[in-house]
Amino acid sequence: MSSETTAVLVRMRDVGLALGAAVPYERSLSRIQLQKFIYLMDSLAIIYNLLPPSVGHYTFLHGPYDPSIQSAVDSLAFRGLARITSLVRRANGNIASGYSLSISGERWALVVRSHPVLSERSFVAETVALHVNRIGWDRLVPLVYAEPTFLNSRPEGYGKRLKPQRVSLSSSAYLLKLIRQALPTSPELSTRSVVAEYYFDYLDRYSRAGHPTAPGVANE
């Protein structure tokens, strides 16, 4: 099996988890939102002792982009596990589409979520959905533009590989480490759920503080 095929299969798992996590909120995800949702999953995964795929997102026109994600959702749609909820050709020629799980896709995603090996990854997806819903689904893209790894890679142009799990001074891993260190040692106040809440609140505040976002910010 080629590395490219493996990458798509891994992202099929992540697309299923992302779309499944959006179901309780009755949300479908656009192409761009799906990319950003899974990027946040990758960024948050380190506090669950998980690592994202070794080859993942890189800087692109609308922020972090992983071509395997689009291939994955197309593969799921072809198999009848995902459905296209909207399909619009914009004036500039770009296609805007939205995705959700089909009924059979929801059953498949439930099997994926219940697998012991994937339960933690599933919880990451549910955590992202919980906080995006709390903050606002229209804020999904701005949250990602405030993520430290992407924010500090933007001046380097397109094609820069993004590794938010790498503990450097400009990464989500470092930010999450600081949040953990700043919290009291009380078990009730230093749980992963509390760390995640502070993480998303930081991204939200930073994105609303008048900092520039990438050109062409959109949810489609």
Q: What's the rounded Cα separation, in Å, for the pair 181 and 23?
A: 34
Bridge-based pairing of strands 58-60 and 29-30 is unpaired
Domain count, the chain: 1
Q: Which domain holds residue 136?
A: 3-208
Residue 93 lies in a domain: yes
Residue 219 lies in a domain: no
pLDDT over threshold 70, residue 218: no
Q: CB neighbours (10 Å) of residue 44?
A: 27
Give this prediction's pTM.
0.88
Q: What's the rounded Cα separation, in Å, for the pair 8 and 73?
A: 9
Q: What is the dihedral of CA 32, 134, 127, 12, to 10 degrees?
A: -20
> Residues for the chain: how many in total?
220
Residue 213 lies in a domain: no
Residue 189 lies in a domain: yes
Please report, rounded to a whole number, the percentage of residues in the chain having pLDDT higher than 90: 47
Give tens-digit pLDDT for 150-188.
888 876 766 678 887 777 768 888 899 889 888 877 666
Residue 214 lies in a domain: no
User: Six-digit token pair at 157?
Assistant: 């142009």
Residue 99 near residue 13, CB atoms below 8 Å: no
Residue 155 lies in a domain: yes
Give tens-digit pLDDT for 63-87.
888 999 999 999 999 999 999 887 7
Sequence letter at residue 110? L
